[in-house]
Amino acid sequence: MKNLKSKRQIILSHTLTYFNFLNLALAVLVILSGQYKNMLFMGVVISNSLIGIIQELKVKKTIDRLSIITASKAHLVTDQGIQDIPLKDLQAGASLYFSTGDQVVADCTVTKSQGLEINESMLTGESLPQAKKPGDKLFSGTFVVAGSGQATANQVGQDNYASRLVEKARSKRRASSEMQNTIKKIIRLVSYAILPIGLLLFYIQFYQSGSTLSDALVQTVAGVLGMIPEGLVLLTSVSFILGVGRLARQKALVQEMEAIEALARVNVLCLDKTGTITSGNLTLTDILPLNSYGDQMVENLMGSLLYGFSEDNATSRALKAYFPGNDLYQIGETMAFSSSRKFMGADLVDAGTFVLGAPDFLSQDLPLIRKAERYASQGYRVLLLAACDKLAPSAQDLEGLIPYALFLLSDQIKEDARETLEFFAREHVQVKILSGDNPATASIAASQAGIDGADRYVDASTLSEDPDLVQEELGDYVVFGRVSPEKKRAILKAYQARGQVVGMVGDGVNDVLALTEADCGIAMANGADAARQAAHILLMDSNFSSMKNIVKEGRIIIANIQRVSALYLTKTIYSVLLCILFIILGKDYPFIPIQLTLISAVAIGIPSFLLTLERAENLRPGSFSQHVLRISLPAAILLTAGILCIHFLTDPLGLSRLQVQTLNLLTGGAVSLGVLVAVCQPMKKHLALMCLVLSLGFLGALFFLPEFFGVLPLWDLF
């Protein structure tokens, strides 16, 4: 996880908090009052801090082991070849090697370039790749989208921009957490309200209701104490921390904790075909010579052309496995493959200039394009080898194109793809395929993997670049072919504009922009450096099927937090309401701290800890605030109304102070335990047993220790 805290930072983050200092100040007031039993709430505060520290330290140990695996490395050029070294060992003046998908790890000067192209969007905001030649500067944090090259490191470590650029990139696309944002707003409002309400409450208790200084301090502490949702803060942080640990055991490295919530709420999942539903291991199935060019000529040309590039990807491996290298033609100028260009090319001395790429991008020959589409519709990936007058940066600028041969490559559907995709269908998650391949080819693969609606496909190159227009053009398409990196991002933004929570799974440099834009970006650990840096979550085993367990874990975590947040917020809401009402009435606050501690223990603290360990996946629809307030607001109003009824009936019924305190505590406990029963729905046997035991514990405390809790024995109530 990025910016994983040190042990010291973990301890400080759980101890030196606003609410801990506030509780400490309240404890001092209780000490001044002399009613020491009302300090019992500090035991809960200390326990909360210890639990948070212990849990986060345990998770840190797990994450540290995974982080070592994915730590960024520099590719150092040495006399013995290219060696990987940790970034901390990189020194200025070192010679570095970069290839497609690598992130630039230091500020450098290019010394060798073989079609080297850099995406500098993290630095400049410009997503179009920039060609680099010897003498050009490379900036840390950018990444290679095409070609390869060498460079001399000028600035390393604290002197370069890598860390700051990555953090800037993350701040722009940080995974959103509606739940955490809501909790932060509640805490901020309560924090502002505590001081004025506390001072007014003390004024009323001491100067108007006639309480002694000792009682006024204790009652003020009770009012303020009930408003503090410190347990909710702990619950959220510990639940997320535990979630990170659970996902780590599922071979998923969470780089931003907020991504857990985004993942749980994803309802549109975009996938890159290769490496997710297909194995990515291509095989050259057939060669179709064109225009009377023979197999031998094609083999000779490919034996030189392919080996003029250093790229190592599935396509080049499949072609090199079929065509052995030769020295028939010297390599002149080259142009490396990029996902936006859709082709690669080179000058072969004494043979001419040749390009290799997607037929529908390179050629305008309709019969040839239809022939390629016919094979693509059968599930093949089709490549065209053609001669041209000279290399150009885009297919539209190529002149004098002469087709030489079509190559048919086949891919295999992963064995576990169908089962995984069926899981998402059951969970009502729409799966969309965003592929750089021919849309018909991608459609066949999606159909073989069992994706519903795979026959609804479109050539994404025909869609608008404007996300607002793309939103209107999306229709009900399931498969998008010929998707450029920029178009992937536009499609994701269009779905988000429709109000969808969008996840993106990818592993290549062409997925980086989409991973950056997604609500939850998921990358394969064996993917490109740039993809790993852009993602919120890494699949350590690079196994798409593990997504099932990861989504389940995410939903369990968020469902648990949603359920128990209602317990905490009920107390906060009724405490605020009671403080305001009893300030207006000018009367004693109805609770003392020890009574609120009892209610908090049996109806909030103990059950919230147990519910956090639940494995229920029933994540309720709607926003976090709607779900929590649906339970907590009516309950808080009911409790407040009950306390007011007791207050107004005190004189007519001639109730004593202890009788009133006892009725107040019974009302508070009954409503709070009722909220517990509500959040445990659907009720299971072990949850019913928990509710019963806690209810008996509450009554037992009043039965055996009435004086300790400041109430009458139950048999003396009336």
Point out the residues that are catalytic.
272
At residue 664, what is the residue type? N
Question: E-assigned strands of 36-162?
Answer: 73-78, 81-86, 95-99, 107-119, 130-131, 137-138, 143-155
CA–CA separation, 94 and 97 (whole Å): 10
- Whether the CB-CB separation of 262 and 520 falls below 8 Å is answered with yes
DSSP states of 669-682 as a string? HHHHHHHHHHHTPS
CA–CA separation, 432 and 457 (whole Å): 10
What does DSSP assign to residue 350? T
State the residue for tokens 């050539």: 459
What is the Rg, in whole angstroms, of the alpha carbon atoms belonging to the chain? 32
Count the Cβ atoms, other than its own, within 10 Å of residue 336. 27
The helix/strand count (H/E) of the chain reads as: 25, 21
Nearest to 100 by CA among 63, 67, 146: 146
- Whether the CB-CB separation of 240 and 260 falls below 8 Å is answered with yes
Beta carbons within 8 Å of 543's beta carbon, 6+ residues apart: 251, 416
Distance, first Cα to last Cα, the chain = 59
What SS3 class is residue 227?
A: helix
Q: Nearest-5° angle of CA 277, CA 281, CA 287?
A: 115
Tokens of 230: 């410190």
- CA 346, distance to chain mean position in Å, is 41
CA–CA separation, 568 and 672 (whole Å): 10
CA–CA separation, 38 and 251 (whole Å): 46
SS (H, E, C) 648-666: HHHHHHCCCHHHHHHHHHH
CA–CA separation, 354 and 383 (whole Å): 13
Beta carbons within 8 Å of 638's beta carbon, 6+ residues apart: 671
Stretch (H or E) spanning 407: strand 402-410
Strand pairing category for 430-434 and 479-481: parallel
Nearest to 356 by CA among 326, 327, 410, 320: 320
If 0-12 CB within 10 Å is exposed, 13-18 middle and 19+ buried, where does residue 265 land? buried
Strand pairing category for 107-119 and 137-138: antiparallel
Alpha helices, DSSP H, located in 498-623: 512-517, 529-534, 547-585, 593-600, 606-612
DSSP states of 488-509 as a string? HHHHHHHHHHTT--EEEEE-SG
Task: Kindly tell me the sign of the dihedral angle through the C-alpha atoms of 580, 585, 586, 588.
Answer: negative
CA–CA separation, 516 and 485 (whole Å): 11
Q: Mutual orientation of helices 366-376 and 439-448 as an angle, nearest 10°?
A: 10
CA–CA separation, 612 and 392 (whole Å): 59
